[in-house]
Amino acid sequence: MGISRKKGKVAADQERTRSSHDAATVLNSAPASPSQNLIIRKQPAASNVKPSFARHRQARSDGAIAATALSPGNLATDLREATRTLHESAERSGVLAQMLRGNVSVQAYAMLLRNLLPVYRALEEGLERHRNAPGVRLVARPALYRSAAIAHDLATLGFTTDRLPLLPGAERYAHRIEEVATTGPCRLIGHAYARYIGDLSDGQILRKLLARLLRVSPTALTLYDFSDIADLYAYKAEYRLALSQAAYEADGEAIIDEAMQAYRLAIALSCAIETATAEPARAMRTDGLPAPV
């Protein structure tokens, strides 16, 4: 199973290879997406609106940076295009790939939850702190916040955070979000896109898959439960519009750049969880924590 995105097998493989390196390496490297073509879009008709960004820099296979004309108002589409190859890599990475192969244990899934918890907490604290800031105000939606659901699911599965290690990859991911919340809050929008549009999209697939694989009650999978939202499809479409609207008042190029960072961090974390759960004894000993549950 997988998202039907045909382009960029080579690029995805390269990105996957890179994702198994530590997150610092991944973060410092230029995004390699050889199959991503130049996106040239027409400017929107609304000439009275000042574009918040005019150009987006996109890495090519030769490492050169191509100037790409983007139009504000299309940010949601541009985010999808810019992260297409990274999304493919995410699906093929670490514990996420194990899930898709039907090869995931409750322990490994709990590790994923435990390590996503600080990530979502950092994101949601940042969004709340900047909920009146340009751009952020449009995407800070408590209805989407997932940290309480993650904590609930962990407890329902019988785990507590102090019994599962916090991996360096999760610390780096959460730290990056805390950093941008201080230095450039509009970058939080890139993280909100990656996590919440992801949860609204692939979360619905993962929820069914995990229920079958782990044989757990739906009450342990509330991370993907958005039943408070009456029409998920309509909500997602409206959230995409809000993302695109954000580009009129915040730095669209920075938002795209940060969404790509979000993917790299998520991929590195997925790989780290696979490693840690394959070698639980070593992972626990390194952190000085008790033996695995």
Which residues make up the interface to ligand HEM (CB under 6 A)? 2-3, 79-80, 87, 90-91, 96, 99-100, 193-194, 197-198, 201-202, 205, 262-263, 266
Nearer to ligand HEM, 248 or 263 (CB): 263
Cβ of residue 12: shortest distance to ligand HEM, in angstroms? 13
Cβ of residue 290: shortest distance to ligand HEM, in angstroms? 29
Nearer to ligand HEM, 184 or 198 (CB): 198
Nearer to ligand HEM, 222 or 244 (CB): 244
Q: What are phi and psi of 68, to 5 degrees?
A: -125, 125
The full 3-state SS of 237-280, as one line of letters, equals HHHHHHHHHHCCCCCHHHHHHHHHHHHHHHHHHHHHHHHHHHCH
Cβ of residue 205: shortest distance to ligand HEM, in angstroms? 6
Cβ atoms of residues 55 and 253 within 8 Å: yes
Strands (DSSP E) along 12-147, which ranges? 55-59, 65-69
Cβ of residue 54: shortest distance to ligand HEM, in angstroms? 22
Cβ of residue 85: shortest distance to ligand HEM, in angstroms? 12
Nearer to ligand HEM, 1 or 64 (CB): 1
Nearer to ligand HEM, 99 or 283 (CB): 99
Q: Give the list of residues 6+ apart from residue 88 with CB closer than 8 angstroms, or none.
A: 2, 3, 5, 8, 9, 12, 15
Give the position of tokens 């070593």. 282
Cβ of residue 202: shortest distance to ligand HEM, in angstroms? 3
Cβ atoms of residues 122 and 128 within 8 Å: no
Residue in 127, 144, 169 with CA at minimum distance from that of residue 276: 169
Residue 84 C-alpha from the chain's centroid? 12
Cβ of residue 144: shortest distance to ligand HEM, in angstroms? 12
Nearer to ligand HEM, 159 or 263 (CB): 263
Q: Tell me how far apart the alpha carbons of residues 18 and 23 are, in angstroms, rounded to a whole number.
A: 9
Nearer to ligand HEM, 1 or 46 (CB): 1
Give the position of tokens 């810019």. 82
**Residue least distant from ligand HEM (Cβ):** 198
Give the position of tokens 């790299």. 264
Q: Tell me how far apart the alpha carbons of residues 83 and 256 are, in angstroms, rounded to a whole number.
A: 8
Cβ atoms of residues 116 and 122 within 8 Å: no
Angle between helices 168-183 and 106-129 (to 10 degrees): 10
